Structure 1
Amino acid sequence: MRKLLVGLLLLVVSFQSIAQSDVKEIALSELKGFGVLITQMGIKENREQSINLRFGVPKLDINNCSVSDIELTIEKDGQFIAHNFLSNMSESIEHYSSHIIAAKTEGLALSIGARYSCENQKIRSTFYTFGDLVKIEKYFINNGLLSEI
């Protein structure tokens, strides 16, 4: 009985370590080096009121782990509203991307990140957080990094 309990405990601990992930924050100045791509879409006159972007992340991170999700967290006035896994990903040779459309509103925060997992799971999965989408868009525009469709 004791061996069974120890075995079950080891199984639970191993599943918990697989489920956990390291969280790493990527500064705005490092987004381009990380491989993040932002493409502005939509009508120029509407850009002050809305976000209409394609947000792309590299397929592999520095650990050679593959991207599994682009994630978006929505908060309003500091209160959590929703966490979405952006499933409408499109694929290019080196990147996965998702199209994000949202109204710009006072107190609205759209935090974006990407989760990378390795097949062999020798290292834990890593969630890279890139910060608020409005700040990212502004940074890319101000530094000439934004491309348009």
Structure 2
Amino acid sequence: MRKLLVGLLLFVIAFHSTAQSDVKEITLSELRGFGVLVTQMGIKENREQSVNLRFGVPILDSNNCSVTDIELTIEKDGQFIAHNFLSNMSESIEHYSSHIIAAKAEGLALSIGARYSCKDQIARSIFYKFGDLVQIENFYTNNGLLSEI
């Protein structure tokens, strides 16, 4: 009976660890090292009024966990509006990327991150927070990291 209880407890602990995820913030200066790709799309004249980017993250992170999705949270004046899971629009075997189009507006915050799931579950799943998409776009533009297609 005792072995059964110990086995059941170990199963519950293992299952519990798979359901949780760590949250790690990646600073603007670390984005390139993490492997984040940002590609400007669209017409140059509209760049001050809109975000029109392809945002990409590596398929595998440094823990060998695979990306499951890119997530975009939209807030206006500090109030939550929406949370979206962005689909992969890339055929690359190295990156998972999605195309994001949004109007830039006063008080609008577009927070972006990626969720990685660990297959062997030795490490817990990880959600990487990259920050505000407009700040990321500006950082990539100002540092010559933004490519265009």
Length-normalised TM-score, structure 2: 0.90
Q: Secondary structure at the match of 1:16?
A: helix
Q: Where does residue 105 of structure 1 map in the other structure?
A: 105
1:15 deviates by: 3.5
Q: Where does residue 134 of structure 1 map in the other structure?
A: 134
Q: Secondary structure at the match of 1:42?
A: coil
> What is the number of residues matched between the two proteins?
149
Counterparts of residues 42-61 of structure 1 (less than 5 Å): 42-61=42-61
Counterparts of residues 1-149 of structure 1 (less than 5 Å): 14-149=14-149
1:122 deviates by: 1.2
Q: 1:12 to 1:105 in 2, by over 3 A?
A: farther
Check conservation: 2:23, 2:126, Cα contact below 8 A: yes
Measure, in 2, the Cα distance between the counterparts of 1:54 and 1:129: 17
Unpaired stretches in structure 2, ≥5 consecutive residues? none
Percent sequence identity is 84
For the aligned residue pairs, the C-alpha RMSD in angstroms reads: 2.1
Unpaired stretches in structure 1, ≥5 consecutive residues? none
Length-normalised TM-score, structure 1: 0.90
Q: 1:8 to 1:83 in 2, by over 3 A?
A: farther
Measure, in 1, the Cα distance between the counterparts of 2:14 and 2:119: 15
Check conservation: 2:88, 2:96, Cα contact below 8 A: no
Measure, in 1, the Cα distance between the counterparts of 2:15 and 2:21: 12
